[in-house]
Structure 1
Amino acid sequence: MRIQQHCKHCNKELQGRTDKKYCDLHCKSAYQYQLAKEQPERFYNIVDNQLKLNRKILKEFNKGGKVTVRAERITEMGFNANFFTHFWKNQKGEVYLFVYEYGFMKLKEGAHEKYVLVLWQDYMNKPKI
């Protein structure tokens, strides 16, 4: 006796093995993809995607090693300063947040908010005494 009468994806009548659920691999794959799409995005994926986007934006704007850019330019591209991988504090006490090797620090100059963009440097690894 057949357990499943019709393909779970396309609803065609099944032929062959009695425990068959899909008519072919395409239907199996399409069904699994459809199920995954209906599930809410996992927290890990949200964080990972935002980190990748932040890194891409910082890389695009920081061609010279140290650059200042208006905050609205990068935020309208999808940059979110709440997602970073680590931080570094300089001798002046300023904290740079990093997305992998690309760092940023928020500044306020008058009415404008800006970001200072930097690249990770070897001296940043040295412990402070």
Structure 2
Amino acid sequence: MRFHKECLFCKKLLVGRTDKKFCDPQCKSGYQYQQAKQQPERFFNKVDNQLKLNRKILKEYNKGGKVTVRAEILNGKGFNPNFFTHYWKNNKGDVYLFIYEYGFLKRVEHGIEKYILIEWQDYMGK
């Protein structure tokens, strides 16, 4: 009696070795991608992805070096102020949170939450 297996991805009948699981490298890759998408996202990946998104958003909105933007605009794009890489405290005691070279300071003016966006400068490292 001959045993027939099917490809784990496309379900086509496999021909060849008895331990074969896929009909070609594309099906193997597709299957592995499908399996990875079903796994819960690892903590490191969540943090890394959020940092990348935050940086992208700050870069997009800070064209002038120092800009003020309503918080609802950035938050609507997926910005999360709880994810940052470092901070800098100025002479006035304001603490700017940074995502790599882009920083922000949360302010409330006339009941409206805003972010003051800045870029890292050499003097900040001293």
TM value normalised by structure 2? 0.92
Name the SS for the 1:7 alignment partner.
Answer: coil
Percent of pairs with identical residues:
70
Identify the range of structure 1 (17-26 vs 76-85) with the bigger mean alpha-carbon deviation. 17-26
What is the identity, as a one-letter code, of the residue corresponding to 1:60?
E
What is the identity, as a one-letter code, of the residue corresponding to 2:115?
Y
**1:50 CA drift (Å):** 1.0
Q: Which residue of 2 aligns with 1:112?
A: 112
RMSD value, Cα:
1.8
Q: Tell me, yes or no, if structure 1 residue 26 matches structure 2 residue 65.
A: no
How many Å separate the matches in 1 of 2:103 and 2:125?
Answer: 14
Unaligned runs of 5+ in 1: none
**1:46 CA drift (Å):** 1.2
Aligned residues: 126
Q: Which residue of 1 aligns with 2:84?
A: 84
What is the identity, as a one-letter code, of the residue corresponding to 1:100?
Y
**1:64 CA drift (Å):** 1.0
Q: Which residue of 2 aligns with 1:50?
A: 50
**1:13 CA drift (Å):** 2.0
What is the identity, as a one-letter code, of the residue corresponding to 1:79?
F
Runs of 4+ aligned residues of structure 1 deviating over 4 Å after TM superposition are 1-4
**1:123 CA drift (Å):** 0.4
TM value normalised by structure 1? 0.90
**1:4 CA drift (Å):** 7.3
**1:95 CA drift (Å):** 0.3
How many Å separate the matches in 2 of 1:62 and 1:52?
Answer: 15
How many Å separate the matches in 1 of 2:84 and 2:107?
Answer: 17
Name the SS for the 1:27 alignment partner.
Answer: helix
**1:3 CA drift (Å):** 8.3
- 2:4–2:13 CA contact under 8 A, matched in 1: no
Unaligned runs of 5+ in 2: none
Report the CA distance shift for 1:3/1:50 in structure 2 as closer, same or farther (over 3 A).
Answer: farther
